[in-house]
Structure 1
């Protein structure tokens, strides 16, 4: 885990533990003495791509440094129903206090990695699977990490990563100039000359106009596979073409076969089915 990811995950953990009031678990405090110890087992209840397990030691350390943790799976490993993912040994009060936080983090990361991998497997190496900024507030580092574990690639982490000229930019510039695309490139290059520029278009005519200004990348929004195939034929080498908009597991193969370089999927992070797992003491 790199330093920046660890910093962000640690911050997320601190907020989660504060939110859950782990020092005020009145049920566990009523039932168990501080000296009572136990062993907790994290068990996978359906097949999945494992992600976020490396966060468990950070969670345990934040709740109670006396807890000893052993991880039984690696990040990105294929887990099977019934697999033992991790064990934690220590005071029962502490184990019960961290249970929900641990499951929430690991389950969420594993669910994203698993869903991402389904898309990656579906395109079979024909193009990149990209995430978006459609992430839970405050959890972008976690979610984008899970996408990478699932075999996907990260799009912009934040607004400062690269220039992305979208429909709202062009619409507003259209109030100021008769050539909003030309003006957007002029202003972008003047403001951030060292940043890559991507522009969003939703038609072949928009693509042709954008190509005049030699962008680094073009986002083809809500265009059909047939239109995208024509766009690929029109586009010179060296410009990264990305497709987006309403693409799902049922339709993605037809888009991947157009020759597109990447497909961005909002569902990787904003609409996922939770992978089932249990924490048993």
Structure 2
């Protein structure tokens, strides 16, 4: 999903936003021939994501900058650990610094939080997945970070799968349409490679949805007791996904109800960026 071409498009836009007419400070204070050596260093422990994205910020600013990664995406790291080394023209290195850090800090924050969710459900068989609650324009980067943390990705976009949510079902009800028949009709329109998921928020909706022939049923905002009951009713006839107000404190109990998948928007929409820093030394031209 995260190709070099996609990285370059996103990073180039960020660089253009940050320095549309160059870096006025660097040009005013730094000699044109000054050289910088820098280290991308962790200020706290976490899981790395976005090392290639950070590298692209330097590469696209000046191709002569050399970036040497000392850790890979998905690696755990400790406070004080050097994650990458950067060398090149001082003006270019410092111009790219903030964009490189912004991406690496946010992506590593997502990977670190995802790893905590994954660890919390260890041994249950439940998988942790993200949602479409991502930063506009940054979905591919943020979802890559989820995978770096050990999670899996939900549908990437509205084009990638059929997922009928509460508002879709409300439209059906307003039209007096039968839920089971509506699902069967939708199934007939779909190709054999397309999965069909339906969200329910009440126990009594489960059987009519299953009768329509779904692949995945989402139990939204169910209590723990109702999740257990829902899993029992489904009885392996569909993949069971739990969603709604999933937190690091609750995810373990949710997993132990027997659901197959737990989706959480918090992985991307409420994450704290990790504290990473760039320690640079500027010297005369080499």
Structure-1-length-normalised TM-score: 0.95
CA distance in 2, matches of 1:258, 1:85: 39
Question: What is residue 116 of structure 1 aligned with on the other side?
Answer: 114
CA distance in 2, matches of 1:184, 1:168: 14
Once the two structures are TM-superposed, the CA of residue 60 in structure 1 deviates from its matched residue by 1.6
Deviation of the 1:183 alpha carbon: 4.2
Aligned to 1:44: 42
Distance in 2 between residues matched to 1:98 and 1:68, nearest whole Å: 13
Q: 1:268 matched to which residue of 2? A: 267
CA shift, 1:7, in A, is 2.2
Cα gap change, 1:17 to 1:89, in 2 (>3 Å): same
Q: What is the CA–CA distance in structure 2 between the aligned matches of 1:36 and 1:210, rounded to whole Å?
A: 66
- Give the alignment of 1:205-244 within 5 angstroms: 205-244=204-243
In 2, Cα distance between the equivalents of 1:125 and 1:19? Answer: 45
Partners of 2:159 and 2:245 lie apart in 1 by 26
Residues in 2 aligned to 1:212 and 1:177: alpha-carbon distance in whole angstroms:
18
1:165, 1:184 within 8 Å by CA — same for their partners in 2? no
Deviations 1:209-245 (A, max 9, x none): 2111121000000001110101111113241100000
Secondary structure of 1:7's match? helix
3-state DSSP of counterpart to 2:36: strand
Gaps of 5+ in 1: none
- 2:70 aligned partner: 72
Measure the CA separation in 2 of the matches of 1:96 and 1:25: 9
Deviation at 1:190, TM superposition (A): 3.5
Give unmatched runs, 5+ long, in structure 2: 281-286
Deviations 1:167-205 (A, max 9, x none): 1111112222241x2243134224323311100001110
Alignment partner of 1:24: what SS? coil
Given that 1:22 and 1:98 are in contact with CA atoms closer than 8 Å, whether structure 2 keeps it comes out as: no
Deviation at 1:87, TM superposition (A): 0.9
SS of structure 2 residue aligned to 1:280: strand
Q: Offset of 1:33 from its aligned partner?
A: 1.7
> For residue 104 of structure 1, what is the aligned residue in structure 2?
102
After superposition, what is the alpha-carbon deviation per residue over 1:123-173, rounded to whole angstroms, capped at 9, x for unaligned? 114200010000000000000000000000100100011110111111112
Q: Per-residue deviation at 1:6? A: 2.2
Post-superposition offset of 1:109: 0.7
Within 5 Å, which residues of 2 pair with 1:1-281?
5-21=3-19, 23-126=21-124, 127-179=126-178, 181-194=179-192, 195-281=194-280
1:275 Cα deviation from its structure 2 partner: 0.8
Q: Contact 1:128–1:262 (CA<8 Å) still a contact in 2? A: yes
Alpha-carbon deviation of 1:75? 1.2
State whether residues 112 and 269 of structure 1, in contact with CA within 8 Å, keep that contact through their aligned partners in structure 2. yes
**Which whole-Å CA distance do the structure 1 matches of 2:26 and 2:10 have between them?**
24
Query: 2:283 aligns to what?
Result: none
What is the TM-score with the length of structure 2 in the denominator?
0.94
- Asked whether the 8 Å contact 1:131–1:144 carries over to 2, the reply is yes
What's the RMSD between the two structures over aligned residues? 1.3
